[in-house]
Structure 1
Amino acid sequence: YGGNPIECWLPAELASQRSWEQYAESYCFVENTYYIPMEQNIPQSKKHRNEKLITYYQWVPFTLILQAMLFVIPHIFWRMLNWTANVQTRAVISMANSLGGMDIYSEEAQDILDTIANHIYRASKSNTYLRRTLQNSNLFVTVVRFFIKSYLSTIYLITKLLFSANAIIQFFIISMYLGGNGYHVTKALIQERSWQHTGVFPRVTLCDFKIRAMGNIHHHTIQCVLMANMLNEKIYIGLWWWLLILSTLTIINSFYWFYVLNSTASSFEFMTGLITLGVSQPRKEMSLRYMQFVTHFIGDPTFVLRLVAQNSGELVTSHIVTRLFDIHMSHINEELVYWYYTIDSYSLTMLFICLGSLFKH
């Protein structure tokens, strides 16, 4: 608590003994105090005194620690589920960052580009295979197929939602500490209006306690100073404004990511913008291949590439996309050749069967 959290002034008959002072201060700190402005009379009713109780000052350090821990929970959620995806996002971003200080055409840089592009391609291929095995019009199966396609994206959006909810909830908790409106408390502080006017984080409070002496119970009301409230007021005003700004920016950012991760047009524009940086062929001649390529990689691959672009820059990401495009086209060409020979072999087989049947007749 940074020293003695509470200091109380005792009547003369109790102040002479240090033990009574320690007892009174410990009791008042544990059992709470209440605030009555100096210009008002102290209520005789215990009910009215309890309505003015200040119950939070003992818990401020623990509340701040808990608030800090709550900000870590969404990050832990993302880290835990991120490792279960086919694409290892952290490894991809780390390798992409290492390309920043290299000659992009060096052998080492080319090997890293190949590793990243092949990893993303294999992950996309695995997801495509799983989706094809679920060829059913059932609603549940449709949802599962979408989730497989955008597993990482969905987890990321949930993480953003957790960050937004955490910031908003904490903002309202801080507002409760500040009496419901942090703006008015801030305004009062700027105008140098004392805490006596606002009643928020009062420095001087009252405490009631009982003493049993000589078989009789004596009631005492003493005045206490809560020194930590001077610092608590500044801390919570700063937190109120910080959480207000943080909540606003987090909500805006969440809506942005929800749009870009669910908009086919945005994904197409992002991918084509990157690939045209590294492909020398005219855009009109490549439009069909662009569409095929982007359609194939919409979902988690596009999301991972967006993260790479944010962390490593669009130039590095464009080289990765170009390499990914080359790998994709080479596999398509291999499949075309395979099907060409397969169909051709089938046609020859059928021709020989027909000729054989004719000769028999």
Structure 2
Amino acid sequence: MYYILRDNIRQLLNINTIKIDNIFFFLHYKITMVLLVVFGLLVTKKQYFGDPIDCIVEAINSDTIDMYCWIQSTYTIPELTGAIVGEEVAHPGVANYGAIKHGKGGTESYAIKHHKYYQWVVLFLSLQAFMFYLPRFIWKTWEGGRVGSLVGELHQPVGDNTLRQQRLAVAVEYFTRYLHHHNLYAFQFFFCEILNFANIIGQIYFTDRFLDYGFLNYGPRVSDYATTADLAGHDPKDEIFPKVAKCTFHMFGPSGTIMRHDALCVLPLNILNEKIFAFLWYWFVLVAVVSGLGLVYRLATFLPTFRTWLLNGRSRLVAKEKINSISRRCYIGDWFILYLIAKNMDAFVYRDFIQELSESLADEDKVS
């Protein structure tokens, strides 16, 4: 399994020669997805962090109590995560049964927080990775290799001149014949961009639900705690990802009475989990902001003047008069596929393509 995942990650990291999207898309389906897959692999590597749980209790087999506490979850007392270790509590958020039952005043018990999510971190990260790739998969299916078929070998600066002329003729003929028929193609891509933005907002929300509503302010709380001078008080990492927690196991004694066993459980994986989700908080916020700016950029492309300016920026070797003339005739879908072709064709080849396309469109005007 490790080698299969490793090979898949290497394949994902390969940069495609033909680009059918933009940097905003790339941020989702490449960088974010690979980060999540790598984090998932790290969590599964036992040789670095040992067993996911080790519990200490007398009179019970360690394997049995480990399995039970891993399945049933452990618990801590959030109110005691800032208590003095060694005097008030044994570990942050961990107290004996009497303290839990009676609390400080002796009348009210402490609120107990059960930690049931860390068992599912690997599956959750895998699901997130899939969701970040899904819009890319949808767009790639809809795109159908159209840009790749039009560009072919024309992304290379040198090649067979005869083949080059043939490919140029095919691209010019296609664009001339199907002018004003690319809006659906463009709007499918725009829809996938909206899916990317909706996904990152949804991932922030569902991660918050997954961590029992402790994710929305997790990143800033971790940073604030790390910058304090004495590192005292409530550590937000211990509240959500405790390194030591308690587990209660009941069994029958020799006389048939129910015996209570309190186990202390060490959770070494939470050393990694706390840092992964602190990083993901800042990363998700960054991706959400960039994706939002990407939607603003997309709205701007509905302005013909802005589209012409972008196409000129991609076509520095082409006379602006020709670009302006072609751009004025293009709907947004035509402009979008021209822009993708400009991103993939060699600059000198694209200059010849625009020249031939301009002449072809002029001949169409004469015929009509």
> What is the TM-score with the length of structure 1 in the denominator?
0.71
Shift of 1:92: 2.7
C-alpha spacing 1:256/1:101, structure 2 compared with 1 (3 Å): farther
Structure 1 pair 312–27 and aligned structure 2 pair: CA distance change class (3 A):
same
Aligned to 1:185, which of 216, 219, 222? 222
What CA deviation, in whole Å up to 9, does each residue of 1:260-305 have, x standing for no partner? 1x112223444567789545xx95xx89xx55x4343223221011
Partner of 1:8: 55
Q: Distance in 1 between matches of 2:315 and 2:186?
A: 21
Q: Deviations over 1:182-219 (max 9, x none)?
A: 12213324558389632231101011121123322212
Mean Cα deviation higher: 215-224 or 183-192: 183-192
Question: Higher Cα Rg: structure 1 or 2?
Answer: 1
Residue equivalent to 1:307: 340
CA distance in 2, matches of 1:94, 1:249: 31
The alpha-carbon distance between structure 1 residues 164 and 314, as it changes in their structure 2 partners (threshold 3 A), is farther
Is 1:110 aligned to 2:165, yes or no? yes
> How far apart, in 2, do the equivalents of 1:275 and 1:241 lie?
36
Amino acid at match of 1:165: A
Aligned amino acid, residue 364 of structure 2: H
Report SS of the residue matched to 1:65: helix
How far apart, CA to CA, are the structure 2 residues paired with 1:166 and 1:58?
Answer: 24
Greater share of helix: 1
Q: Which amino acid aligns with 2:119?
A: Q
SS at match of 1:193: coil
The answer to whether the 8 A contact 1:34-1:49 is kept is no
Give the deviation of 1:312 after TM superposition: 4.0
Aligned-pair identity in percent equals: 22
Amino acid at match of 1:92: L
The 8 Å contact of residues 175 and 240 in structure 1, kept in 2 or not, is answered as no
Please, which moves more after superposition, 48-57 or 191-200? 191-200
Contact 1:274-1:321 at 8 Å conserved across structures: no
Q: 1:60 aligns with which of 115, 121, 131?
A: 121
Q: Does 1:323 align with 2:351?
A: no
Residues of 2 paired with 1:94 and 1:170: CA distance? 37
Q: Is the 8 A contact 2:314 2:339 kept in 1?
A: no
SS at match of 1:205: strand
Contact 2:172-2:356 within 8 A present in 1 as well: yes
Alpha carbons 2:76, 2:112 under 8 Å: kept? no
CA-atom RMSD in angstroms: 3.2
Cα deviation, 1:120-175, whole Å, max 9, x if unaligned, reads 222226x3xxxxxxxxxxxxxxxxxxxxx511111111111111111222234445
Q: How does 1:67-216 map to 2 (within 5 A)?
A: 67-83=128-144, 88-98=146-156, 100-102=157-159, 106-124=161-179, 127=181, 150-175=183-208, 177=211, 178-181=214-217, 182-189=219-226, 193=231, 197-198=235-236, 199-214=239-254, 215-216=256-257
In structure 2, the partner of 1:221 is 262
Secondary structure of 2:216's aligned partner: coil
d(CA) in 2 for partners of 1:194 and 1:97? 59
What do residues 17-42 of structure 1 show as CA deviations (whole Å, max 9, x unaligned)? xxx22211111111111113353654
Q: How many residues align?
A: 293
What SS does the corresponding residue of 1:124 show, helix, strand or coil?
A: coil
Show the counterpart of 1:358: none
Secondary structure of the structure 1 residue equivalent to 2:252:
strand
Q: Relative to structure 1, is the Cα distance of residues 240 and 272 closer, same or farther in structure 2, using a 3 angstrom cutoff? A: closer
Q: Give the whole-Å Cα distance in 2 for the aligned partners of 1:22 and 1:217.
A: 21
Rounded to whole Å, the distance in 1 between the matches of 2:243 and 2:309 is 59
User: Structure 2: how far apart are the matches of 1:313 and 1:245?
Assistant: 33
Question: What secondary structure, in the 3-state scheme, does the structure 1 residue paired with 2:242 have?
Answer: coil
Aligned mates of 1:331, 1:122 — CA distance in 2: 10
CA contact (8 A) 2:241 2:273 kept: yes
TM-score (norm 2): 0.69
SS of corresponding position for 1:4: coil
Please say if residues 55 and 266 of structure 2, whose CA atoms lie closer than 8 Å, have aligned partners that are also in contact.
Answer: yes
